[in-house]
Amino acid sequence: MHLYNAWLPPPVAAQTAGERDSFSRIIATVNSSFNRDDPESVYSTLRYISVLDL
Protein backbone atom coordinates (compact mmCIF):
# COMPACT_ATOMS: atom_id res chain seq x y z
CA MET A 1 0.00 0.00 0.00
CA HIS A 2 1.23 3.46 -0.82
CA LEU A 3 2.08 5.72 2.11
CA TYR A 4 -0.58 8.24 1.04
CA ASN A 5 -3.26 5.55 1.41
CA ALA A 6 -2.19 4.51 4.93
CA TRP A 7 -4.77 6.78 6.57
CA LEU A 8 -7.69 5.15 4.75
CA PRO A 9 -10.04 2.77 6.57
CA PRO A 10 -9.08 -0.88 5.89
CA PRO A 11 -11.99 -1.68 3.49
CA VAL A 12 -11.21 1.39 1.37
CA ALA A 13 -7.47 0.72 1.46
CA ALA A 14 -8.11 -2.82 0.24
CA GLN A 15 -10.00 -1.47 -2.77
CA THR A 16 -7.11 0.83 -3.68
CA ALA A 17 -4.75 -2.14 -3.91
CA GLY A 18 -5.74 -2.69 -7.53
CA GLU A 19 -4.89 0.86 -8.62
CA ARG A 20 -1.40 -0.03 -9.82
CA ASP A 21 -2.69 -2.94 -11.90
CA SER A 22 -5.48 -0.85 -13.39
CA PHE A 23 -3.08 1.95 -14.30
CA SER A 24 -0.65 -0.54 -15.84
CA ARG A 25 -3.43 -2.00 -17.98
CA ILE A 26 -4.56 1.40 -19.29
CA ILE A 27 -0.96 2.37 -20.14
CA ALA A 28 -0.45 -0.94 -21.94
CA THR A 29 -3.68 -0.36 -23.88
CA VAL A 30 -2.63 3.15 -24.92
CA ASN A 31 0.81 1.88 -25.94
CA SER A 32 -0.72 -0.88 -28.04
CA SER A 33 -3.06 1.64 -29.73
CA PHE A 34 -0.20 3.92 -30.74
CA ASN A 35 2.04 2.98 -33.64
CA ARG A 36 5.06 5.25 -34.19
CA ASP A 37 5.07 4.46 -37.91
CA ASP A 38 1.45 5.56 -38.36
CA PRO A 39 0.78 9.25 -37.60
CA GLU A 40 -2.97 8.58 -37.70
CA SER A 41 -2.75 6.14 -34.77
CA VAL A 42 -2.44 9.05 -32.35
CA TYR A 43 -6.17 9.62 -32.83
CA SER A 44 -6.94 6.16 -31.47
CA THR A 45 -5.38 7.17 -28.15
CA LEU A 46 -7.51 10.30 -27.71
CA ARG A 47 -10.34 8.40 -26.03
CA TYR A 48 -8.05 7.73 -23.04
CA ILE A 49 -7.29 11.39 -22.28
CA SER A 50 -10.13 11.73 -19.78
CA VAL A 51 -8.86 8.63 -17.95
CA LEU A 52 -5.25 9.80 -17.81
CA ASP A 53 -5.88 13.51 -17.16
CA LEU A 54 -6.21 13.27 -13.41
4-33, pLDDT tens digit by residue?
777 888 888 888 878 878 888 888 888 888
Segments forming the whole domain that contains residue 39: 9-52
Determine, yes or no, domain membership for 2.
no
Q: Is residue 28 part of a domain?
A: yes
Domain count, the chain: 1
pLDDT at residue 2 in the model: 62
pTM for the whole structure = 0.54
Burial class (CB in 10 A: 0-12, 13-18, 19+), 33: middle
